[in-house]
Amino acid sequence: MMRIKSDNVLVVAPASSSIPFPAKKQAFHFSSVSRIFPAIHELQPGSIVLDYVYTGNDTEKILRRLSANSFYSKIKIYCYKLRPHIKEDDLLRALGVHYFIYAETHKPTKQQRATVKALGEMLEGAVVKKSLSIQVTE
């Protein structure tokens, strides 16, 4: 799980994105790249998470605009990517990205998947028992 210190986070990604995100943070999700800068002025987030694949060619423009204006200097920029790439990461870091979040590193392990599956089965069993007892007593 990524560590974001600010409470308000602006997430620029598609609506169906699978970016791992801390539950205690207040996220403002935008799927329109053109709404980023008006949203920054309205919400004044402490951090921005950009989905590199989704923003595509606009990523460089966005980062250059964020680094050129002193109003945005205190905003931490996170970039969500599928996998590390040395040249791209170096360019993005030079343009102002503070942290990278890689999808490869956030995949659940076999043990974690087995644990989640076991918990799901236990909860499902408890719900079925509860619904059966409700039906019998009524």
pLDDT score at 5: 65
Task: Give burial (CB, 10 Å; 0-12/13-18/19+) of 122.
Answer: exposed
Question: What gap in Å lies between CA 19 and CA 123, rounded to an integer?
Answer: 25
Q: What is the pTM of this model?
A: 0.69
pLDDT score at 92: 92
Digit-by-digit pLDDT tens for the chain (138 residues) are 456 666 788 888 887 666 766 655 677 888 888 888 998 898 888 889 898 988 888 889 999 999 898 888 889 998 888 888 889 999 999 999 998 888 876 555 566 556 666 666 766 665 555 555 555 555
Using alpha carbons, select from 80, 20, 11 the residue that is nearest to residue 48. 11
pLDDT score at 101: 85
